[in-house]
Amino acid sequence: MIIGIGIDIIEITRIKKTLERQPRFSERILTEKEYKLFNSHSIDERRIEFLAGRFAAKEAYAKAIGTGIGSKLSWKDIEILPNESGKPVLKSNGSWTAFVSISHSKAYVVAQIILESSSS
């Protein structure tokens, strides 16, 4: 049974400008494993897309569980890593299954999260 849906869209230039103003922004948003992936991209545009995608997906997750990012949920409580085929997989301490979709265009990144109850 679906227990939550969240979606977020963000302008890639907004993330780029934030990273230029706050060089440690990526370290605040990304877990250690995500940060390693972020740094593995040699092209700056791809790094910004990656960061924007994780930002949007984490925002979408917070919307799906209904808390937002803040006192109950931090950026690092949510980790999104690719599986062996590249599909993004969300890990959190919630008792549900999360389905993740992240899509990029030239100017935007959109992410959607669907939460399904783990119990039947």
Given the residues 16, 41, 63, 106, select the one marked as catalytic: 63
Report pLDDT digits (tens) over 21-68: 999 999 999 999 999 999 999 899 999 999 999 999 999 999 999 988
Helices (H), 1-120: 12-21, 25-29, 32-40, 44-65
Model pTM score? 0.93
Q: Which domains does the chain have, with CATH numbers?
A: 2-117 (3.90.470.20)
> pLDDT digits over 62-93, tens only?
999 998 888 789 999 999 999 999 999 999 88
Q: Which of 16, 41, 76, 104 is catalytic?
A: 104
The answer to whether 63 is a known catalytic residue is yes
Q: Cα separation of 120 and 117, whole Å?
A: 7
Q: Does 41 qualify as catalytic in the annotation?
A: no
31 contact partners, CB below 8 Å, separation of at least 6: 76, 78, 79
